[in-house]
Structure 1
Amino acid sequence: MNYNKRIRIVGIISSVIITIIILAGICVYATLPWLVRGYVSAADIKLNPNSYEVMLSLLYCVGIPVLVLLGLALTLTVNISRGKAFVRQNTMCLNLISLCSLIIGIMFFVAMFFLSSIFPIIIATVFILLAILTKVFADLFRAAIQYKKENDLTI
């Protein structure tokens, strides 16, 4: 199997998986109050009086950047599977993914002051590191696009 065909197959599989995750995320977002209440009662968690509202507000606020991030990941996957790896749109997608990751990280960092758990700290750290990493990749893609343009002009 040649390289381009393999890239295309992996791109299709990745696109299907990301689409399923987006649809599941929309379903979770729509049923969030019931899911949080069910999780708290099933796990027998003792919450402070306002922790339920804080948790629900955090998850609603984080849900939007997560869905945007997944949509951008889908766009990036489709572009790469079509052989358009080093195009300006991909650098824009990576920059927006970095911004969404930073927003999510900051939201969880703020949430650690309201929720008595270590998980917001861990999640904030992961998303802030993801923001830094995707920003580096965006700059790398931008430099590769510039080198590709220069190379196309010299040949």
Structure 2
Amino acid sequence: MRSLLQGFLIGLSIVLPGMSGGTVILILGLYEKSIRDLSRLNLKPYIIIGLGVLVGIFAGGQVFAQLFILYRDPTAAFFLGIILASIKALFRGRPTLNPARVFIVLGGLPLGAGTRLYYGQKRSSLAGTYCCRRAIHCNNAASRRPGKRCPYRDGHVR
């Protein structure tokens, strides 16, 4: 049962944006053992985990798709929280922060925020906006439903 649950969590992480199955395998403490077993071709313990992964991918995909449709912003905040929490788990057992690391982080945060604020205020070019909007709206799955027409397909933005 534990292996099935671990596989389910790995499958969910595959569906989540910003997360990877490898990260969850590392967080669950399965990474070293799985590398050792897979190098010896000992696959039997991973059949149940694989079934859990499949269930996690399909069930998680359906659930998260509905959550994104119904509750876009809270779901995105949830994903951001998961990603930020996984950073702490990845560095468990690593050396503590030293002044150089703190300086880099504290210097990088305002630099990134300033860049975003500066470039976020500028208007983009008409051609760039057109190309991006066309790519986003005409190539996503929602605009390809039967009866739906892409408003950008005829060459001009309405």
Higher RCO structure, 1 or 2 (CA under 8 Å, sep 6+): 1
Q: Which has the larger radius of gyration?
A: 2
User: Which one has a larger percent helix, Structure 1 or Structure 2?
Assistant: 1
TM-score, shorter chain, exceeding 0.5: no
What is the TM-score when the length of structure 1 is the normalising length?
Answer: 0.25
